[in-house]
Structure 1
Amino acid sequence: MKNRIWFITGISSGLGKAIAQTVIEQGDFVIGTFRNQAQTDAFNNENQNKAFALTLDITIPEEINNAFQIIKDKFERIDVLVNNAGLGFAGAIEETSNEETRQVFEANFFGTLQVTQMALPIFRKQKSGHIIQISSHGGFKAFQGFGIYNASKFAVEGFSEALAQEVTPLGIKVTLVEPGPFRTNFAGKSFRQAETIIADYNETAGVFRERIKAVDGKQEGDPTKAAKAIFDITNLENPPLRLPLGKIAIISLTTKLESVKNDIENFKEIAENAIF
């Protein structure tokens, strides 16, 4: 299908920017979001007739409502939704405050959920559409020092996996993209850390924090290649529910699957005996 309309949240940098550029290059139309009005204006000036930007903070429900009203009035349809906007966060579970946890979930879960919910009536009316949730290999396997971020992405994976079952009969597709480390600003200026540091966690969560800093700018993943992979799966009749990206992502998912399989096999008798 040519000249599709994509709605992509968070296109100022990183994977979101790469996806938007790829979509425009491929001849489809982009509706993208920035949190900064100056960036929105600059993008619109540079991409007239090829794309349209909105200023949107996905942690503010009223702004999401307003964005969708503009989309419905101006474009009437969306063919592909990419929920990309979010934030990274590191800290041991005990180190992380309730306020920090809520900030992560407002961006990574609640904002994503609301955008998805507001796109669904459009997709149902069309009897078509593809929802791309930018998750993470950390949305499938947890890592020490990354637990709150993991939890937010696990939550996205949980509702999206159920959503896929609900909307498949309606002609709507859902894909969870699970990138490993990619060379974006994720580990740089846009990455947040718990304000509290507890020395007892220096050898676990602390090691993770230092590793995140060390790999910034050296990650294996190429955002442009990831964007092309994401674009390509939207052309498939039967796209995957999950799309891990990068060698590290494959290792993470495989390790988790093997761990679960081992626990089931080793404790199967206990599990099976816990019934009437």
Structure 2
Amino acid sequence: MTSRNWLITGVTSGFGRHLSEQLLSRGDRVAGTFRTAAGVDEISASWPDTFHPARLDVTDPAGIVTVVDRAFAALGRIDVVVSNAGYGLMGAAEELSDEQIVHQIATNLTGSIRFIRATLPHLRRQGGGRILQLSSVGGQAAWPGGSLYHATKWGIEGFADALAGEVAPFGIGVTIVEPGGARTNFRYGGSVLAERIEAYDATPAAHIRRILTERTTQGIGDPARMAAAMIDSADREPAPRRLVLGSDAYQGIETALAARLADIRAQRESAAATDAPLPGTATGGVAELRTAPTRL
């Protein structure tokens, strides 16, 4: 197997840690970013010649460009870019502070967008590569108590979906990774819980608060197997647009998509009724639905 060069954000824990250790163990080189140093020394000590760490807070736009440029300069070519850094902000929308909202968006959404954008000139110049954007089952389905987290994941999925079409002519593939609950530190340690408003105690939004405070449940996903599946996806041609990981993710996404499709199909005629009439017809709407050209 030919060794590859990877650039991964958030390598000291969770999926980033599993990805880095598996890749380094098989002989690949990893440029890995971290926000806090806990854990990075262990990786550096084990793979001093093939692991290239760099401190990065993805809410720092200038820092992103500097770290990305240095990574490409150090490795010469980067085959796979993994946008992994992020966390969960949980609580009913009313419970969240403005500062928490801004930081969640700046980390999960804006930070991911800026990081990927910083890599694009390098990937174009080298003639291709692969981008893996970490999302979640929460990027396709949404539950009470996670409104801002879902907003960032749905947002980054829209960005990555459109990006895939933009960069395909340059040989750059884009994969959106959608894990379910995994046995990482994301749930208990990687999530922030908003201040409680008592009025929400008896509402569906309180369910996530109970999970995070009682700490009695864990995800069913094996993070090592999930990381291995992400690595394997980099060899697939063409790049899979989405990579669903975990039976809970599959079930959650399938249920959400089926419900959304049912809602939309029920409005076929009412949607068409708002079309402007075609030339030479008295009314628009359902009668024109089968013959009207696609219009943006």
Contact kept, 8 Å, 1:91 with 1:145, in 2: the verdict is: yes
Q: 2:205 corresponds to which residue?
A: 205
Contact kept, 8 Å, 1:180 with 1:246, in 2: the verdict is: yes
Q: 1:152 corresponds to which residue?
A: 152
Partners in 2 of 1:182 and 1:192 — Cα distance? Answer: 17
Contact kept, 8 Å, 2:188 with 2:215, in 1: the verdict is: no
Contact kept, 8 Å, 1:184 with 1:217, in 2: the verdict is: no
**Structure 1 residues 256, 125: CA separation in 2 closer, same or farther (over 3 Å shift)?**
same
Contact kept, 8 Å, 1:164 with 1:174, in 2: the verdict is: yes
Cα deviation for residue 105 of structure 1 reads 0.7
Cα deviation for residue 22 of structure 1 reads 1.4
TM-score, scaled to structure 1: 0.94
Unaligned runs of 5+ in 1: none
Contact kept, 8 Å, 1:13 with 1:185, in 2: the verdict is: yes
Cα deviation for residue 127 of structure 1 reads 1.5
**Structure 1 residues 229, 38: CA separation in 2 closer, same or farther (over 3 Å shift)?**
closer
**Structure 1 residues 212, 95: CA separation in 2 closer, same or farther (over 3 Å shift)?**
same
Q: 2:289 corresponds to which residue?
A: none
In the TM superposition, 1:84-123 aligns within 5 A as: 84-123=84-123
Q: Is 2:168 the counterpart of 1:162? A: no
Partners in 2 of 1:261 and 1:72 — Cα distance? Answer: 42
Cα deviation for residue 171 of structure 1 reads 0.3
Q: How large is the RMSD of aligned CA atoms in angstroms?
A: 1.7
SS in 1 for 2:119: helix
Q: 1:79 corresponds to which residue?
A: 79
Partners in 2 of 1:97 and 1:136 — Cα distance? Answer: 23
Q: 1:247 corresponds to which residue?
A: 247
Contact kept, 8 Å, 2:35 with 2:55, in 1: the verdict is: yes
Partners in 2 of 1:31 and 1:162 — Cα distance? Answer: 26
Q: Which has the higher helix share?
A: 1
Q: 1:264 corresponds to which residue?
A: 264
- Over residues 80-101 of structure 1, what are the superposed CA-to-partner deviations in whole Å (9 max), with x where a residue is unaligned? 0001111111111122122111
Cα deviation for residue 62 of structure 1 reads 2.3
Cα deviation for residue 256 of structure 1 reads 1.3
**Residue type of the alignment partner of 1:88:** G
Unaligned runs of 5+ in 2: 277-296
Q: Using the TM superposition, name which of 38-47 and 153-162 deviates more.
A: 38-47
Q: Is 2:54 the counterpart of 1:54? A: yes
Aligned length: 276
TM-score, scaled to structure 2: 0.88
Partners in 2 of 1:54 and 1:217 — Cα distance? Answer: 34
Q: 2:291 corresponds to which residue?
A: none
Q: 1:68 corresponds to which residue?
A: 68
Partners in 2 of 1:43 and 1:82 — Cα distance? Answer: 18
Which structure has the larger Rg? 2
**Residue type of the alignment partner of 1:195:** E
**Structure 1 residues 216, 175: CA separation in 2 closer, same or farther (over 3 Å shift)?**
farther
In the TM superposition, 1:7-22 aligns within 5 A as: 7-22=7-22
Cα deviation for residue 23 of structure 1 reads 1.1
Q: 1:33 corresponds to which residue?
A: 33
Partners in 1 of 2:9 and 2:113 — Cα distance? Answer: 12
Partners in 2 of 1:274 and 1:215 — Cα distance? Answer: 50
Greater RCO (Cα-Cα under 8 Å, separation 6 or more):
1
- Over residues 156-214 of structure 1, what are the superposed CA-to-partner deviations in whole Å (9 max), with x where a residue is unaligned? 00110000010111100000000010001111122101124242353211112213445
In the TM superposition, 1:199-238 aligns within 5 A as: 199-200=199-200, 202-214=202-214, 218-238=218-238
**Residue type of the alignment partner of 1:12:** T
Q: Using the TM superposition, name which of 48-57 and 133-142 deviates more.
A: 48-57
Contact kept, 8 Å, 1:187 with 1:213, in 2: the verdict is: no
Q: Using the TM superposition, name which of 91-100 and 139-148 deviates more.
A: 91-100
Cα deviation for residue 108 of structure 1 reads 0.3
